[in-house]
């Protein structure tokens, strides 16, 4: 049993409903549950980070009224926070259910947009509110690079932590058509633990980009045309970098 599994077991004991709430989501993601591979990688942050990101959409004097309205209103799938709470209690956090739905991004977990200087809550507000109401200590969260966010004036919701050195290097020194350039321009979901370069949830480690076949770390500044063909006779394999661009792969590491 690795460090994450040990921490996960302790968390399930300490937090009661943790396994019941998140088991369906963990079965659909890689690096978190028992499956060796799945369609998505998902990262987690302390609930307060996601909630602060929701509140920061409006000025401080508007936040109480804004949060009250958000609790009362229905989300994209036509269900309010209380309905989602009941659904999660009965079925777990399972986006395959009609009540809980998928994000417009095609993600099963709440997502945020981030730029070089700030972050903004994007999809999954009601799901975050429902998980917070259930007392979940941590929530699933993935980020999407957005130049649109960069054009906003600063309004009180900068990044909660300093960006990690590796991520800053990727943004500032990326080459045209490198993997870093691709993240900077396309809608690739980025784990917050990679964005900030640190473990955000105790014992949960952090996610790093890796080659899906070998599990080796990827050089995000390398050119997409570089890389070694896995099998020179297997033309369907393509290069390592092009394969990552098509299907980003992340692995959890513990330090």
Per-domain boundaries in the chain: 3-253
Which residues are CB-neighbours of 116 under 8 A, at least 6 positions away? Answer: 150, 163, 171
β 206-209/250-253 pair status: antiparallel
Q: Report d(CA 76, CA 87) in Å as an integer.
A: 16
- Residues 8-33 have pLDDT tens digits of 555 554 555 677 778 778 777 765 65
Q: Report d(CA 140, CA 121) in Å as an integer.
A: 13
SS3 238: coil
- Residues 84-106 have pLDDT tens digits of 888 888 888 887 777 777 777 77
Q: pTM for this one? A: 0.83
Of 130 and 204, which is predicted with more confidence?
A: 130
């Amino acid at each position: 049993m690795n460090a994450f599994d040990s921490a996960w077991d302790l968390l399930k004991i300490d937090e009661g409903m943790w396994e019941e709430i998140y088991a369906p989501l963990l079965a659909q993601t890689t690096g978190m549950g028992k499956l060796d591979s799945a369609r998505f990688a998902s990262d987690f942050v302390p609930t307060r980070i996601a909630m602060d990101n929701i509140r920061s959409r409006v000025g401080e004097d508007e936040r109480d009224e804004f949060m009250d309205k958000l609790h009362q209103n229905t989300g994209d799938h036509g269900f309010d926070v209380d309905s989602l709470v009941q659904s999660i209690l009965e079925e777990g956090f399972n986006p395959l259910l009609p009540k809980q739905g998928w994000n417009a991004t095609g993600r099963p977990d709440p997502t945020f947009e981030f730029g070089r200087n700030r972050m903004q809550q994007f999809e999954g507000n009601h799901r975050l509110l429902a998980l917070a109401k259930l007392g979940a200590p941590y929530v699933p969260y993935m980020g999407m690079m957005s130049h649109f966010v960069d054009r906003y004036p600063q309004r009180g919701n900068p990044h909660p932590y300093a960006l990690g050195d590796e991520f800053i290097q990727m943004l500032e020194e990326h080459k045209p058509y490198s993997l870093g350039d691709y993240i900077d321009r396309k809608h690739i979901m980025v784990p917050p633990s990679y964005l900030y370069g640190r473990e955000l949830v105790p014992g949960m480690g952090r996610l790093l980009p890796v080659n899906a076949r070998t599990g080796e770390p990827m050089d995000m500044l390398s050119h997409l045309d570089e890389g070694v063909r896995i099998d020179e006779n297997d033309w369907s394999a393509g290069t390592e970098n092009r394969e990552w661009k098509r299907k980003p792969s992340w692995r959890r590491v513990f330090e």
